[in-house]
Amino acid sequence: MKLTMLGTGHAVVTGYYNTCFVLEDEGQYFLVDGGGGGFLLNRLDEAGIPWHEIHDIFVTHKHTDHILGIIWMIRLWLAALSHGKAKGELNIYGNEVVIEALRLFTKVIFTEKENEFVDHGLNFVLVQDGDEHEIIGHTVRFFDIRASKILQFGIVVDLGEGRRLVCNGDETFNDECAPIAEGATWFMHEAFCLYSQADVFKPYEKGHSTAKDAAQIAEGLGVDNLILYHTEDSNVGTRKELYTMEASQFFTGNVYVPEDLETIEL
Ligand SMILES: [Zn+2]
SS3 assignment, position 175: helix
Number of residues assigned to the chain: 266
Classify residue 135 by burial, with Cβ atoms within 10 Å: 0-12, 13-18, 19+.
buried
Ligand 1 center from residue 61 Cα (angstroms): 8
Taking the model in full, what pTM does it have? Answer: 0.98
Residue 192's CATH number: 3.60.15.10
SS3 assignment, position 118: strand
Ligand 1 center from residue 81 Cα (angstroms): 30
DSSP string, 205-245: GGT--BHHHHHHHHHHHT-SEEEEESB-STTTTTHHHHHHH
Nearest to 245 by CA among 203, 195, 209: 195
The residue type at 250: F
- The CA-to-CA distance between both ends of the chain, in Å, stands at 6
Ligand 1 center from residue 142 Cα (angstroms): 18
Torsion angle defined by CA atoms of residues 26, 155, 132 and 140, in that order, rounded to the nearest 10 degrees: 10
Ligand 1 center from residue 72 Cα (angstroms): 18
pLDDT of 238 reads 98
SS3 assignment, position 40: helix
DSSP H helices, the chain, are: 39-47, 64-82, 96-109, 112-115, 178-181, 198-201, 211-221, 239-248
Ligand 1 center from residue 150 Cα (angstroms): 11
pLDDT of 173 reads 98
Ligand 1 center from residue 169 Cα (angstroms): 8
Ligand 1 center from residue 218 Cα (angstroms): 20
Q: pLDDT tens track of the chain, all 266 residues?
A: 999 999 999 999 999 999 999 999 999 999 999 999 999 999 999 999 999 999 999 999 999 999 999 999 999 999 999 999 999 999 999 999 999 999 999 999 999 999 999 999 999 999 999 999 999 999 999 999 999 989 999 999 999 999 999 999 999 999 999 999 999 999 999 999 999 999 999 999 999 999 999 999 999 999 999 999 999 999 999 999 999 999 999 999 999 999 999 999 99
CB 248 within 8 A of CB 255: yes
Total domains, the chain: 1
Ligand 1 center from residue 99 Cα (angstroms): 17
Ligand 1 center from residue 161 Cα (angstroms): 31
Residue span of the structural domain in which 238 resides: 2-265
Ligand 1 center from residue 201 Cα (angstroms): 15
CB 60 within 8 A of CB 33: yes
